[in-house]
Structure 1
Amino acid sequence: MPAPARPLLDTQIGGVSATPPTAESDLEPVDPSLSSSGEQPHRLPLSLINTSSQLDASLPSPSLSPITAAANLARNTGYAGLFGGDDEYDDTTDISTLDASQDKLDDSNSGSFNLQDGTLQLKHMQTRHKIGTPSNEARHGNPQLSNPTLMEIPTMIDAFDAMPMEMQTYIMYQMLRRCAKPTLHFVADVVNPTLKCDFLGVLPLELSQIVIRNLDAQSMCRAAQVSKRWRDVTNSDEKAWKDLLDRDGYHLPDGEIERAVREGWGWQHPGTTGWERDISNVLCSGVECDLSPPRSSKFGSVATFEEDSMSRPKRKSTSKHTTSQKRQKRKVTPTLRSHSQPPAWMRSLESAQGPNAYANAAALAVPNPSMGLSSLRSLHLYKSLYQRHHTIRKSWMMQDTQPQHLAFRAHDRHVVTCLQLDTDKILTGSDDTSINVYDTKTGASRKKLEGHEGGVWALQYDGDTLVSGSTDRSVRVWDIKTGKCLQIFQGHTSTVRCLVILKPTKIGTNADGTSITMPKEDLIITGSRDSTLRVWRLPKPGDRSVFQAGPPANDHDNPYFIRALTGHHHSVRAIAAHGDTLVSGSYDSTVRVWKISTGDLVHRLQGHTQKVYSVVLDHERNRCISGSMDNLVKVWSLDTGACLFNLEGHSSLVGLLDLSHERLVSAAADSTLRIWDPENGQCKSTLSAHTGAITCFQHDGQKVISGSDRTLKMWNIRTGECVRDLLTDLSGVWQVRFNERRCVAAVQRSNYTYIEVLDFGAARDGIPEDRRSRRIVVDAKGREIEDQAVTTEAPDQEANP
């Protein structure tokens, strides 16, 4: 007689029915041996599908059928039944310790419940709430299972724990495909966090550092906020932050790394509004503090031993019976060490090569200072340097930034024709025949280089060697430190209008892998109003001095002269060089391309109809660019000599060009600047706020600073917007240059020539606001004085009310 059909069981929890269809194979016994014995297999009542229920059919079926999987498990593990078998299971599958947030649990439609400490607590449910309403036929196997209650949940959990892992996987699959979406969301919220892997915590430190060295600075900072482990890995990788400094174009001034080591910058977190302080005298938390007295060195002077020892912690006696002789030795030992050798950190610093070596020196200089939370205290030398330079760069574009404004008189009332600077010095050349050297930080006058008999119209320096060209037709080589003229080269018969110092540069690779470097030695290349160019070898310090008189001069008498390049028919106005390529622009309306090593003319570029005033060399694309009095900017191919683009838009003389940071900027007498894409010649922005011809400008990747008749303006190079006026109420702007921190301009105020220095990094050095909110005029010694231009005008104003 066939078995009676099972009734439809409708199991509803929280008003949602979720029962899957049961295949005929699911009704077969798990173990085939049970059917042959004639005994009815012991199994749970199975629910049939309720077609009125909404099922989530997104879960796939297992690759093996339940019958095959169960049969294999029974044979392999000796599993006897749902509630039988050994209590062997993998601890890694136990998630009973997971916590679930209350707000996630409250979203369940199965009733309000909490999961705390592995105990399931149900609220608003009766003690014997029935899961379903099984039929009488379903109860004959095991009446206790036909009406499961809350009291039986521990038994069910124990049975699940006793299952092999494969069976647990199958049971979980069957349970999940019967769950409603809210329950699945809850399960996902609990399970997903446990499946995530902290790869930086698992990987060895060396592999973790390889991973983070592929991140940019912003990603590195975000990674440092994930956990203490991530913070330690990202902050302590000195090489990664050193590479970021180089990659993002930051340059460490001379002596800054030594200062950072000495003052303990690597332990500090000043943020964006603070500044790095000298914590070398902060109490050390360990007993390994170096008690050796600091000394003056090439890294700068430091505090005396007496001042330093006042802030050092006193060590406690190990015994009350310590003899006076031992105490005397303890006091004398540091003094003896000071005469024998410098402190350990200074020795380490002097021999340091690479970021990790500098970090080791920093750890010796300020060992574990007692500041901040000990759990967050870690050395991060190059990250602190990166943060410092990044903050200074950002401060340029902020409206509320107040740079320190320093001003000093220069060259009386004469025009400043040349201006160059670095973090240590400012050099100016003038039509008063002199070259002045000033201290960048204080404005104090260092040297005045005198010797030219005409105005200085071109200069460039490399290290402490300065080369200048003048209207007296000579080229002079100077020692900047001593102010002494080392060489005088003659040969040009008119004003030396432009010059460059060309350094050896890698321009390619040979078949055997060796580098191709050109030129082979440092060169000086000059252009003159006599329509010629001349190539000289740059003398090295200690080389024999040559003082030629003339013109005319005998080139054979000068061992540094190499060759003259002739061919232009008018004044050579601008030159640019890289590797073995030289480009010259002339008033004869042509641009010529030369091979420096041989002096051969490679191309004669014709197309301009007026004088050429400016040229730049785009060596990456093998192009050159020229600006002319015909209002055009032309882009030329150095391979073929053909004109690739005509950049139109200016309505007057294009006198200035500059190519940097993948942007070409042109400035014209029509009072505008234009930003171009050097790849395709497309005009990106037009900067139009000046009222007169642009006399000078410079740009980098974020800004353009330009000077005109009465103002010095700063622009956002990405948007073309004028950010702010840096200087106003001027009679003229002669020259402008800026570096990472300072902007220096040579201007005319009330018929006097001034050098104005704007320091955007002053706040990062702790300069108070009252020293940054006003213009400070200093004398030749760097001392603050009253502005002479103001005091001389005051009597005139009183006499003529």
Structure 2
Amino acid sequence: MTLDERVGSFMPIVSPPTPAPSPRPSFPSPFYPDSSTRNTSPSPYDPSIPSEFSNLTGNPASRKQYLVSILHECSPAELRFISQTITPMLKRDVLTELPAELALHILAYVDDPRTLARASQVCKRWHDLVSDDWLWKVLCDTYSFRADTEDKTGTKVLEDDESWDEMDKFGSNPIDPWLTARDRLKRQEPSVSHWGPYSSDELLLPRTQFSHQEYFRRAYGTMLNLRKGGSILRAHRMPIPTPDSGVITSVALDTEWVVVGLANSKIHMFSAITGVLSRTLVGHEQGVWAVNLVCRGGYWGRGEMDEDGYPDDADDPVVPAGLKTALGIDRPRRMRRPASVGGDSSKPSDICCTSEGWGQPNSIIVSASCDKTLRVWDARSGHCIYVLRGHTATVRCARVLHNRPIAVTGSRDSTLRVWNIQKGVMLRVLHGHTASVRCLDVCGNKVVSGSYDTTCRIWDVDTGECLRVLRGHSHQIYSIAIDGNLVASGGMDTIVRVWDATTGNCVAQLTGHTALVCQLQLSTTTSLLATGGSDGRVITFSLRSFSALQRLAAHDSSVTSLQFDANFLITGGNDGRVRVFETQNGMYVRDLSERCESVWKVAYKKGTCAIMCKRAGKTVIEIWTFKPKER
């Protein structure tokens, strides 16, 4: 029986025009309680009661009048009962009733992760919606948290024997292994996102399913800790025997190692996870001016390859079997990754002086020294694999290309040299500069160099050809960077110039510094250029308008370190401060560490920060962590 049938079939009696109360029905009803039942607990519902309310179907005005007349006769207690009864009936879970695609579209407008976390506790359906990976991918984009290949895999590509053996199952075709593995992922696991447009096609590697939610949790926690938090893993203090011998000249940092080069010819290796000093590399006869860290794993990039996808530059070197393993020489030679699976032939260099590996199981360290040599080290054992000679003066700068065992060095002998560091041979000499090569940078197979002869040059690393000569500076060049088709350079003339790498034309002259421009970082991803000078100023420029966005009086003396990402700008100076600013608006955030006598180098990556300074007459190396605690 319907609710209308149970209420009754009588028309309501219109109240007379006098103040007298309206007559009441003569039959008992839960909607018309008499005085004897008022203020008592409601009686059980009687389904046999006829309903006059059902006879009003099709007359909305009468139905409303009927209900109003009932409510006017109810006591406050009865009205509360009606409210408590009706309220749950009126509640609607909009997100649950909507199609999942629309529900996710609505949730994508929520930019506070704490709100999403609370929403996930409402019910199981909301929890499933909030757990959708596409939603957290959108939030990562909102906060400019960009995951790289290592983040998406959890480990380096082909970092152990099992990885190589797994790839061996697919035959000798260098492309099929990646495509087949990706298809295997689709068959074994569902799409990363249940409802959103993000799918497993966007995963570059087959062995690990990447979670944007977990990645956001780590990145967001790291961001909060960098604002106000963090702790020192280790602080190493080393006495300085002579004024110059303990000076730190260079640093390289990845998620495993902190590599520090010193003017006393030593190289210290610290664990980026624990901060412990792992080993000291001894072999150079004079000070180390540059270090570059090649991460373990990776894949073969584009370059000079033979039919097996292997660099066809020289025969296998005569080195112990263990060192061949460290270099990846005794591994299968079919690991060239196709561009369609994520290979990038124009990836810029890393600001922390690291590069992606070519598939070797161990990290490799490349160091350049005043003794005119380049040395290649096995990070795991600490053995020196090669001593590469050829320069006739101090090797001032060095870089290693991503996914290729190719290193480029610049020297005071005015030349650049290209080396195969896997086989220990020099490939070619780049002639053109007429004075010391002070700085260089790489992007894909392009190398850009800055010299004391006031020019910059762009080279093709595979052919040795000088593609462009960039003229315009009036004094020595001390800093240079290349990212895609833009080159930025700075030096003694206090002017920062931005060049078109394709045409060689100067597209902008940026002013604001009053002294040597010694630090520089260029990023077309964020469309920003940051510069630091000996005047203590840090200036950020837009690469769209080439106008100054922020002019920061960051330090009282020369800026010795500078690096930024989409969220933070970190600087170090000779005034002994390490400072953090917001990248977008230049607002000061905090000072890292206690103030010291001088800061030599600062490097930051993925929640780990290495600060190298002089404190109380001693060289101090502090390894900080800003990573959130694991759940």
Pair 257,602 (structure 1): closer, same or farther in 2 beyond 3 Å: closer
Amino acid at match of 2:496: V
Q: Percent identity?
A: 28
Aligned residues of 1:224 and 1:234 also touching (Cα < 8 A): no
Aligned to 1:674: 539
Higher RCO by CA contacts (8 Å cutoff, separation 6 or greater):
2
Give the match for residue 514 of structure 2. 651
Confirm whether residue 460 of structure 1 aligns to residue 359 of structure 2. Answer: no
Q: How does 1:191-590 map to 2 (within 5 A)?
A: 198-201=94-97, 203=99, 218=112, 221-222=115-116, 225=119, 227-237=122-132, 241=136, 248-249=145-146, 383=213, 386-398=216-228, 401=229, 403-404=231-232, 406-410=234-238, 412=240, 414-463=246-295, 464-504=363-403, 521-539=404-422, 546=424, 558=425, 561-590=426-455
Encode CA deviations 1:69-101: one digit per residue, 9 max, x unaligned: xxxxxxxxxxxxxxxxxx9xxx9xx9x9xxxxx
Q: Distance in 1 between matches of 2:55 and 2:545?
A: 73
- Give yes or no for the alignment of 1:594 onto 2:490: no
The Cα of 1:731 is off from its aligned counterpart by 2.0
> Cα 1:448–1:404, aligned 2, differ >3 Å: closer, same or farther?
closer
- Partners of 1:415 and 1:231 in 2: how far apart? 56
1:607 maps to 472
Which letter does structure 2 place at the counterpart of 1:645?
A
| Offset at residue 586 of structure 1 (A) | 1.0
TM-aligned CA distance change 1:382 to 1:667, over 3 Å? closer
Give the Å deviation of 1:667: 0.3
Q: Does 1:687 align with 2:552?
A: yes
Secondary structure, aligned partner of 1:395:
helix
Taking the TM superposition and a 5 Å limit, the aligned residue runs for 1:131-170 are 157-161=53-57, 163=58
When Rg is computed on C-alpha atoms for both structures, the one with the higher figure is 1
Deviations 1:225-245, CA, capped at 9 Å, x for gaps? 173144321354357547866
Query: Matches of residues 631-650 of structure 1 in structure 2 within 5 Å?
Result: 631-650=494-513
Matched length: 463
Question: In the TM superposition, what is the alpha-carbon distance from 1:693 to its structure 2 partner?
Answer: 1.0
Cα deviation, 1:400-458, whole Å, max 9, x if unaligned, reads x3633631124745111111223332211011111111223443321111111121111
Residue 466 (structure 1) shift = 1.0
Once the two structures are TM-superposed, the CA of residue 492 in structure 1 deviates from its matched residue by: 1.3
Preserved contact between residue 393 and residue 740 of structure 1 (Cα < 8 Å) = no
In the TM superposition, what is the alpha-carbon distance from 1:649 to its structure 2 partner?
Answer: 0.7
2:612 pairs with 735, 742, 746, which one?
746
1:240/1:720 CA distance change after superposition, 3 Å: closer
Distance 2:152 2:486 in 1: 38
Question: In the TM superposition, what is the alpha-carbon distance from 1:214 to its structure 2 partner?
Answer: 5.8
CA separation in 1, counterparts of 2:461 and 2:153?
38
After TM superposition, what 4+ stretches of structure 1 lie above 6 angstroms from structure 2? 152-156, 168-175, 193-197, 251-258, 356-360
Name the structure with the higher helix share: 1
2:521, 2:569 → 1: CA distance? 11
What is the alpha-carbon distance in structure 2 between the residues aligned to residue 495 and residue 118 of structure 1?
A: 101
> Deviation of residue 623 (structure 1)?
1.3
CA contact (8 A) 2:443 2:483 kept: no
Residues 252/645 of structure 1: CA separation in 2 closer, same or farther (3 Å cut)? closer
Aligned residues of 2:104 and 2:129 also touching (Cα < 8 A): no
State whether residues 493 and 516 of structure 2, in contact with CA within 8 Å, keep that contact through their aligned partners in structure 1.
yes
* TM-score where L is the length of structure 2: 0.64
1:715 alignment partner in structure 2: 581
C-alpha spacing 1:683/1:208, structure 2 compared with 1 (3 Å): same
* Local SS of the residue matching 1:695: strand
Alignment CA distance shift 1:252-1:500 (3 Å):
closer
What's the RMSD between the two structures over aligned residues?
4.4
Give the Cα separation in 1 of the matches to 2:367 and 2:559: 25
Q: Is the 8 A contact 1:402 1:760 kept in 2?
A: yes
Instruction: Kindly indicate which of the two structures has a greater share of residues assigned to strand.
Output: 2
Q: What is the identity, as a one-letter code, of the residue corresponding to 2:507?
A: L
CA distance in 2, matches of 1:715, 1:416: 24
Contact 1:705–1:713, Cα closer than 8 Å, also in 2: yes
Structure 1: unaligned runs, 5 residues or longer = 1-86, 97-116, 120-125, 133-147, 176-189, 259-297, 299-351, 361-379, 505-520, 547-557, 767-801
Change beyond 3 A, Cα 1:169–1:462 = farther
Work out the CA distance in 1 between the residues paired with 2:596 and 2:496. 30
* Amino acid in structure 2 at the alignment position of 1:630: D
C-alpha contact 2:294 2:365 (8 A) present in aligned 1: yes
Q: Contact 2:230–2:624 at 8 Å: present in 1 too?
A: no
Find the aligned partners of 2:150 and 2:238 in 1 and give their Cα distance: 25
Paired with 2:108 and 2:132, the residues of 1 have a C-alpha distance of 12
Quick check: 1:224–1:235 contact (8 Å CA) kept in 2?
no
Whole-Å separation in 2 of the counterparts to 1:529 and 1:586: 9
What amino acid is aligned across from residue 452 of structure 1 in structure 2?
H
Q: Distance in 1 between matches of 2:522 and 2:445?
A: 19
Offset of residue 652 of structure 1: 0.5
Q: 3-state SS of the aligned residue for 2:509?
A: strand
Match of 2:15 in 1: 129
- The answer as to whether partners of 1:410 and 1:753 remain within 8 angstroms in 2 is yes
Q: CA deviation at 1:592?
A: 1.3
Q: Contact conserved, 1:223 with 1:230, CA < 8 A, in 2?
A: no
Contact 2:448 2:457 in 1 (8 A): yes
**Structure 1, 632-641 or 441-450: larger mean CA deviation:** 441-450
1:623 partner letter: L
Structure 1 630/486 Cα, relative in aligned 2: closer, same or farther at 3 Å? same
Residue 170 of structure 1, CA deviation: 11
Deviation at 1:201, TM superposition (A): 4.5
Whole-Å Cα distance in 1 between the matches of residues 107 and 506 of structure 2?
42
Q: What is the alpha-carbon distance in structure 1 between the residues aligned to residue 615 and residue 529 of structure 2? A: 31
Q: CA deviation at 1:199?
A: 4.8
**Does the 8 Å CA contact 2:411/2:438 hold for their aligned counterparts?**
yes
Residues in 1 aligned to 2:531 and 2:374: alpha-carbon distance in whole angstroms: 29
Please tell me the residue identity of whatever aligns with 1:648.
T
Q: Give unpaired runs (5+ residues) of structure 2.
A: 32-49, 67-85, 156-161, 163-183, 193-209, 296-362
